[in-house]
Amino acid sequence: MRRNRPLVAVGIALLLVLAGCAGGGNAGDGATQAALSGDEPEYEQATGTPAEADDGSTTGERMRIYTARLTVRVDEFEPSRSNLSAAVESHGGYVGNSEITANEFDNTTYRNGQFTYRVPAENYTEFLQTVRSEGAVLREEENVDDVTGQHADLEARLSNLRAERERLRELYEQANDTEDVLAVQRELSDVQGEIESIEARLESLENRVAYATVTVELREERPDDPVEEDHWYDTGVVAAFLESVDGAVVALRAAVVGIAYALPYLIAFGVPLFGLGLVFKRYVVGDRSIRGGGREPPVEEGDESPGDAEE
């Protein structure tokens, strides 16, 4: 058995070199290695057809991701929301995420909402027409991303890693030395981790290709009060008189209500002030008048009253 140790060590070294090449992300090198080793791709798509290590020109089918974002103003929020939910379900899709905001204006509530719909790619265009028909489209944005080359690159890398995993398993069966076993186990663990990562990326990519993503923002109209654009002189005589009477009644009522509000303050502060005024007038002003009325001004010599002059 010890005679096989150099062969096992050389095999492990070669696999380490191949792992570095496969983990580098070069699709062309991976395809070449797969062809030289004689291994065929083991990965199959959801349709069951073997994966092609090219850009999709062999089958003529391209892999595209469709996304759209629309802002639609609607008359009523809840009916439009229900219509779109029913439409996406009828097309084989589902509602991914949703967010609803309630707003207040003039004691009235109106709502806005943002929804993410996932609809099968073959029904993407038809569902967009349904969204547009719900109201006035304020903003619309579409994007198509061709990921055929990216998908082929991931498949080629996955094929190489799976082939490398099989070779490592064979070396593991042949290794008898503890160091060799541990080295192969570490390499197997790294390769298995890369395989699972690429498989997850492929699954996510194929899901995005199979289901288009449509993000819709629904905006319910704010219930603004209508603006009166008629001029005052366009009002009829009778209508103007009646409006004036109503205005006079409102003004009179406001005056009565104002007096009712002010009356307690007038009583609370006005009566004491009035009493203080009477006291001040009686005792202060009256006392001064009494003191001044008891005396007559002295008459200087040479001054004569009008009666003496006549005599």
Q: What is the pLDDT of residues 227-254, one digit of tens each?
A: 445 555 566 676 777 777 778 888 888 8
> Does residue 112 fall inside a structural domain?
no
Q: Do residues 161 and 50 share a domain?
A: yes
Lowest mean pLDDT among 195-209, 268-282, 291-305: 291-305
Name the token pair of 186. Answer: 């570490």
Residue 47, pLDDT > 60, answer no
Q: Which residue has the higher pLDDT, 236 or 20?
A: 236
Residue 39 located in a structural domain: yes
26 falls within a domain: yes
53, 153: one domain: yes
Does residue 73 contact residue 221 with C-beta atoms inside 8 Å?
A: yes
| pTM, entire model | 0.51
Specify if 131 maps to a domain.
Answer: no
Largest CA distance in the chain: 176
Note whether 55 and 149 are within 8 A (CB): yes
Asked if residues 212 and 68 have their Cβ atoms less than 8 Å apart, the reply is yes
Distances (CA, A) of 2 to 5, 24, 185, 216, 291: 5, 34, 20, 69, 146
Residue 58: pLDDT band with limits 50, 70, 90: very low
In the chain, % of residues over pLDDT 90 = 39
Q: Residue 253 is part of which domain span? A: 238-290
Is the Cα torsion angle 182, 187, 193, 199 positive or negative in sign?
negative
Look at residue 280 and tell me if it is in a domain: yes
| Bigger pLDDT: 223 vs 263 | 263
Q: Report yes or no: 195 and 161 within 8 Å, Cβ to Cβ.
A: yes
156 with 274, same domain: the answer is no
- Given pLDDT bands bounded at 50, 70 and 90, which one contains residue 87? very high
Residue 263 lies in a domain: yes
Residues 170 and 54 in one domain: yes
**Cα separation, 201 vs 43, whole angstroms:** 13
Number of domains comprising the chain: 2
| Sheet bearing 64-74, strands edge to edge | 94-105, 108-120, 211-220, 64-74, 136-146
Question: What percent of the chain is modeled with pLDDT above 70?
Answer: 67
